[in-house]
């Protein structure tokens, strides 16, 4: 610290903005980007915008003011984030969008996304397989104003709606929350007699549904989630959840940071702007191979 006081830190600044730091997914994403940036010899600042476009605006302004070289952003909305990214790009910051895209191209140096649609179809297919392609099921949606919630439910239905003997009897939003998924599942289980499966837009809601099923004393209900969070993978190992799809968050963050480094050193990333990284299905069979949003074996 003292050395730092005498000679100012001349390393370039990388600002990492993610939706929140109290969610394991975003935390893993932020941690991975920060760790790789430090490895590559940058200074790092990490902040959360809480899915609030206004707060994101302020944080981007702060990044501009502190003369950041790179912005790694998991943004607060495909449309509402455009102006902030444009402002950062004009100020000469190299913007790398991760996890979520914006609706305009040419502003960011790269938009590296996990394939939510492919991931949703992957887990929906596994859900159908586990149910024997038949039976009533319910769906727990994420916050309905969120792009990813819409992409995922579309992916689910691209698979499930082609199967004539599978019927969705109810769909409710649980706003990504475990407590809300718990009480809404309890209620839906009451409203509809025979439910064989629950498909959830993220792992947190899937775990809430699992707790509700357990509390109702029911067995054999197939529950799948999305994200590949450590808690969900543990629940898959113990049999409470059937499957989830892992978004390669750590991989994406590292890719973004590597490309940023390349951009600064050579002036180009050498890759197209839009890069889609496929998701991976996690079931009991391969659960041991994943930890904290990355494949370790």
Residue 30 vs residues 15, 84, 286: alpha-carbon distances, Å: 10, 19, 25
Task: Please tell me the distance from the alpha carbon of residue 51 to that of residue 197, in angstroms, as a whole number.
Answer: 30
Site string for another protein, 8-27 (x = CB under 8 A): ------------xxxxx--x
Closest CA to 98 of 226, 274, 295: 274
Task: Please tell me the distance from the alpha carbon of residue 248 to that of residue 239, in angstroms, as a whole number.
Answer: 23
Q: Does 183 engage in binding with another protein (CB under 8 A)? A: yes
Task: Please tell me the distance from the alpha carbon of residue 181 to that of residue 209, in angstroms, as a whole number.
Answer: 6
The nearer residue to another protein, 110 or 201, going by C-beta atoms, is 201
Is the CB of residue 257 less than 8 Å from the CB of residue 235? no
The nearer residue to another protein, 182 or 290, going by C-beta atoms, is 182
The nearer residue to another protein, 67 or 187, going by C-beta atoms, is 187
Q: Does 177 engage in binding with another protein (CB under 8 A)? A: yes
Residues 131-160 that bind another protein (CB under 8 A): 141, 144
Choosing from 39, 67, 105, 179, the residue that interacts with another protein (CB under 8 A) is 179
∠72-267-82 over CA atoms, to 5°?
Answer: 40
SS3 content of the chain, % helix, strand, coil (to 5): 45, 20, 35
Give the H/E segment covering residue 49.
none
Q: Does 239 engage in binding with another protein (CB under 8 A)? A: no
Number of residues forming the site for another protein (CB under 8 A): 32
Query: Candidates 2-10, 81-89, 101-109, 178-186 — which segment interacts with another protein by CB under 8 A?
Result: 178-186
Q: Does 274 engage in binding with another protein (CB under 8 A)? A: no
Closest CA to 124 of 161, 174, 169, 149: 161
Which pair of tokens denotes residue 177? 């929350």
Residues 26-65 that bind another protein (CB under 8 A): 27
The nearer residue to another protein, 144 or 161, going by C-beta atoms, is 144
Shortest CB 103 distance to another protein, Å: 22
Shortest CB 290 distance to another protein, Å: 16
Place of tokens 């009897």: 169
Residue 261 vs residues 9, 27, 87, 143, 203: alpha-carbon distances, Å: 18, 22, 21, 35, 33
Shortest CB 170 distance to another protein, Å: 5
Q: Does 175 engage in binding with another protein (CB under 8 A)? A: yes
Residues 188-207 that bind another protein (CB under 8 A): 188, 190-193, 207
Three-class SS state of 115: coil
Residues 71-130 that bind another protein (CB under 8 A): none
Choosing from 75, 111, 173, 269, the residue that interacts with another protein (CB under 8 A) is 173
Q: Does 237 engage in binding with another protein (CB under 8 A)? A: no
Closest CA to 124 of 294, 290, 244, 247: 244
Q: Does 208 engage in binding with another protein (CB under 8 A)? A: yes
Query: Candidates 70-78, 96-104, 166-174, 266-274 — which segment interacts with another protein by CB under 8 A?
Result: 166-174
**Binding site residues, another protein, CB under 8 A:** 20-24, 27, 141, 144, 170-173, 175, 177-179, 182-184, 186-188, 190-193, 207-208, 211, 215, 231, 234
């Amino acid at each position: 610290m003292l050395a730092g006081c005498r000679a100012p830190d001349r390393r370039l600044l990388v600002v990492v903005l993610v939706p929140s730091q109290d969610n394991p997914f975003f935390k893993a994403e932020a941690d991975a980007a920060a760790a790789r940036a430090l490895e590559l010899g940058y200074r790092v600042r990490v902040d959360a915008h809480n899915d609030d476009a206004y707060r994101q605006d302020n944080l981007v302004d702060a990044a501009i003011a502190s003369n950041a070289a790179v912005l790694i952003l998991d943004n607060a909305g495909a449309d509402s984030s455009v102006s902030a990214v444009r402002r950062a790009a004009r100020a000469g910051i190299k913007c790398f969008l991760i996890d979520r895209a914006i609706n305009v191209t040419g502003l960011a140096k790269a938009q590296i996304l996990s394939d939510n649609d492919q991931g949703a179809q992957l887990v929906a297919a596994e859900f159908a397989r586990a149910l024997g392609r038949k039976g009533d099921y319910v769906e727990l949606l994420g916050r309905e104003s969120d792009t990813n919630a819409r992409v995922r439910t579309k992916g689910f239905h691209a698979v499930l709606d082609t199967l004539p003997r599978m019927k969705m009897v109810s769909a409710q939003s649980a706003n990504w929350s475990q407590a809300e998924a718990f009480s809404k599942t309890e209620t839906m289980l009451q409203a509809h007699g025979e439910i064989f499966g629950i498909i959830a837009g993220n792992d947190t809601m899937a775990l809430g549904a699992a707790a509700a099923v357990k509390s109702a004393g029911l067995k054999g209900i197939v529950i799948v989630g999305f994200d590949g969070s450590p808690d969900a993978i543990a629940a898959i190992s113990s049999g409470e959840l059937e499957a989830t799809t892992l978004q390669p968050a750590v991989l994406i963050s590292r890719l973004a940071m590597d490309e940023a480094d390349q951009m600064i050193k050579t002036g180009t990333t050498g890759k197209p702007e839009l890069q889609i990284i496929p998701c991976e299905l996690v079931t009991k069979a391969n659960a041991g191979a994943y930890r904290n949003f990355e494949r370790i074996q």
